[in-house]
Amino acid sequence: VQGVRDGGGDPRPRRVLVFPLPFQGHIDPMMHLAGALHARAGLAVTVLHTRFNALDPARHPEFRFVEVPDGVPAGVAATGRIIDVILAMNAAMEASPEAVRGALASAMIAEDEDEEAPHAACLVIDSNLLAVQRAAEKLGLPTMVLRTGSAACLRCFLAYPMLHDKGYLPFQESQLYMPVPELPPLRVRDLFQTKISSHEMVREVIARITETVRNCSGLIINTFEALEPDELQKLRGELDLPLLLAAGPLHKLSSKTTGSSLLDQDYSCIEWLDTQPPGSVLYVSFGSLAAMDSGEFVEVAWGLANSGHPFLWVVRPNLVQDTDIAQLPDGFEDAVKGRGMVIQWAPQQEVLAHRAVGGFWTHCGWNSTLESVGEGVPMICRPNAVDQMMNARYVEEVWGVGFELEGELERGEVEGAVRKLMGGGREGAEMTERAEVLRRKVAECLDGSGSSRTAIDMLVDYMLSL
Ligand code: UDX
């Protein structure tokens, strides 16, 4: 195996292995990174993937795929809970490291024993895959880490022990709005949280992430310099890494959509958007994991209907958690005829780039936030869990391109929020203007000498030097 990467001066093209965490919000940025490395530098890519949320190799004929046994018990897989799956997967991989090493070794060695086949330079893993990093270490394969969240989020993770020592965590209801001066502009309620996994599980996942990051040969963060300049500068001081690059928004760096959607994207909505006036439509989607109960679902439906504004709403199959099939309320379809469309899963990047879309009601997953920023679309934020609270805080407080819809979901509040963003008033118009300014910064970081473009070039040079 050593010989595979021992290629100083070897003219053969190099291969990079990538291993995303098998959740939509983690798969997408990793596949975009892989696409950018392949398109820009001609690097060959092998994608390691699990049976849980397996990727479809047929949709990526340019990449090679190797399955790694994940060992996630069926009961945990069925919950689909990200924290539980991360812990179960790492535990299973650590219990049988030889299985992971075997998969890695077969991914490193040229599949067809062809002399010309590229050999492996390094492995890029999701920061949640400490067990994989440990297995790679044993093989002498350097690991780089992709952080799919913001730089601010990683700073928060690194500060987790301090947040406990100082008593900010675990959360106390009475302190939710207390500022955390060590991590401005965050308040206690903006720190990483989940309503369904225990605090101890979260703490363990975060401890593993920070260990993976501190051990890696280089870190890539899906953000860009102009978006989080202070956070990146502080991270560079806090982490003593050979390389820390802000190379995002990664979805803007690969030339085509990745085909890595776990659900079928309904393109009929693009034709519908074509019929709507510019900037008129509110796009509503809560990502791949966030859920609501049927009472909240009905309030969202009537809030959107009563707002009078056109909307495109993604109702994923498991969005409503207390029923098998989400039922739109009686009378809703008639009330929104011609100006409302409901679909199961959207081609989100194309939707946000469409000229008809003027606002995004989002749960503020980091990918959704970056995708909105990349198209200059202002946001209504309804964060649900994990890093979404802090993303929403930055959207509202730092970048001024949206606002949070807080408290109970109630139709009157929803209607008011939609009108505030889309109704042509001063506040909404100012958010739209600031979103356009930010969009131009995204375009700048992606052009020839832009910071993210340069970061990818530096990354390729570095990978080839490993
Ligand atoms: C979230 C967090 O962002 C992530 O950091 C955390 O670890 C897990 O929870 P998710 O809920 O999937 O992830 O949201 P997001 O990060 O926004 O990613 C969703 C992805 O799905 C986006 O790339 C979006 O374009 C895509 N999507 C969403 C679609 O393709 N179609 C849709 O209809 C909705």
Res 4 pLDDT > 50: no
Q: What would the two tokens of residue 208 be?
A: 């593993």
Q: What would the two tokens of residue 84 be?
A: 């539980």
Ligand 1 center from residue 288 Cα (angstroms): 5
Residue ranges around ligand 1 (CB below 6 Å): 23-25, 28, 82, 148-149, 261, 265, 285, 287-290, 314, 345-346, 348-349, 365-368, 371, 386-387
**What are the catalytic residues?**
26, 126
Residue corresponding to tokens 């049927």: 294
Q: Which pLDDT tens digit goes with each residue over 318-369?
A: 899 888 788 999 999 999 999 999 999 999 999 999 999 999 999 999 999 9
Please provide residue 261's backbone torsions phi and psi, each rounded to the nearest 5 degrees.
Answer: -70, 135
Q: Which pLDDT tens digit goes with each residue over 113-154?
A: 565 666 788 999 999 999 999 999 999 999 999 999 999 999
Residue 457 neighbours by CB distance under 10 Å: 13
SS3 category, 109: coil
Ligand 1 center from residue 50 Cα (angstroms): 19
Ligand 1 center from residue 66 Cα (angstroms): 24
Q: What angle do CA 34, 35, 41 make, to 5 degrees?
A: 90
* Closest Cα to atom 18 of ligand 1: 25
Closest atom of ligand 1 relative to the 344 alpha carbon: 33
Q: What would the two tokens of residue 359 be?
A: 């606002």
* pTM for the full predicted model: 0.95
Give the pLDDT score at 111.
58
User: Average pLDDT in the 34-44 region?
Assistant: 89
C-beta of residue 366 within 8 angstroms of C-beta of residue 247: no
Could you report how far apart the first and last alpha carbons of the chain are, in Å?
15
Give buried/exposed letters for 335-355 (b at 16+ CB in 10 A, else e): ebeebbbbbebbbbbbbbebe
Closest atom of ligand 1 relative to the 365 alpha carbon: 3
Candidate of 367, 370, 379 to mutate for ligand 1, largest count of ligand atoms within 8 Å of Cβ: 367
Please provide residue 190's backbone torsions phi and psi, each rounded to the nearest 5 degrees.
Answer: -85, -10
Give the pLDDT score at 118.
66
Chain Cα centroid distance, residue 53 = 16
DSSP H helices in 292-399 = 294-307, 332-335, 348-353, 366-375, 388-393
Res 103 pLDDT > 70: yes
Give the pLDDT score at 415.
98
Ligand 1 center from residue 82 Cα (angstroms): 12
Specify the pairing of strand 143-147 against strand 402-404.
Answer: unpaired
Give the pLDDT score at 3.
27
**β-bridge mates for residue 282, sequence order:** 311, 359
d(CA 311, CA 302): 12
Ligand 1 center from residue 250 Cα (angstroms): 14
* Closest Cα to atom 1 of ligand 1: 365
Instruction: State the burial class of residue 332 (Cβ atoms within 10 Å of its Cβ: 0-12, 13-18, 19+).
Output: middle
C-beta of residue 26 within 8 angstroms of C-beta of residue 126: yes
Contacts of 162 (CB under 8 A, 6+ apart): 182
Among 266, 127, 108, 142, smallest CA distance to 205 is for: 127
Res 308 pLDDT > 60: yes
